[in-house]
Amino acid sequence: IVCDVANFAQVHEMVSGVISQFGKIDILVNNAGISMTYGRVGESDPSTWANVIAVNLIGTFHCCHAVIPYMQKQGGGQIINLKGYGAHFPSPYVTAYGASKAALVAFTKSLAREYKRDHIHVNIFSPGIVKTDLITHVDTTADGKAHLHKIGWVIDAMAGPVEYAASFAVKMALMGKRVTGKSLYAVSARRLLFRVLRYGIRRLWQKK
């Protein structure tokens, strides 16, 4: 069911449609997210900046707001939110994205405490850098292009497939009844090291 998560009315219509078809909602995965033009704050369009917050943070609130009453009635459920690298590290040139993800961490932990007695378990995980349009098709300012050039190798080396992140979400759903308020990482330090080494070997092979 397609909807704009930043639109409160559309989200509630979506949830009503799901309830009509399936009768209940056991798991909510807040995966919708966008970024903005790579550039400094002074060069950013205010409406574009605000729209990132509207989708990434307020959109998550909308979905939780719509789903929680049904989870309460059925005796519980699971909510899984996704965070990005901006949640814990500085995010120059994509400040709206970083701010939205940092706020999402606090929102998740607060939500978990609010609904623990209702057996609604709320957790958050970082999928790592994932190969989606969010990083492969971006508009940039002059400063943004320079920044992307500097970090381009990081994206090439560390970005993983969508399927890996999706499988981790499934694992979280299976374990979610035992934990709440947790912040987890889909990609371990060992896996990141493996990706970097594989990237380096591939680059050396291409130069031969």
Closest CA to 104 of 171, 166, 58: 58
pLDDT (0 to 100) of residue 25: 95
197 pLDDT tier (thresholds 50, 70, 90): low
Closest CA to 77 of 10, 17, 19: 19
pLDDT (0 to 100) of residue 58: 98
Q: What is the mean pLDDT of residues 66-79?
A: 96
pTM: 0.79
Question: Dmax over Cα atoms in the chain, in whole Å?
Answer: 63
Asked whether residue 198 carries a pLDDT value surpassing 80, the answer given is: no
d(CA 49, CA 43): 11
Residues classed as catalytic: 97
pLDDT (0 to 100) of residue 70: 97
Across 153-170, b (16+ Cβ under 10 Å) vs e yields eeeebbbbeeeebeebbe
Amino acid identity, position 195: R
Asked whether residue 4 carries a pLDDT value surpassing 90, the answer given is: yes
Q: Higher pLDDT residue, 1 or 163? A: 1
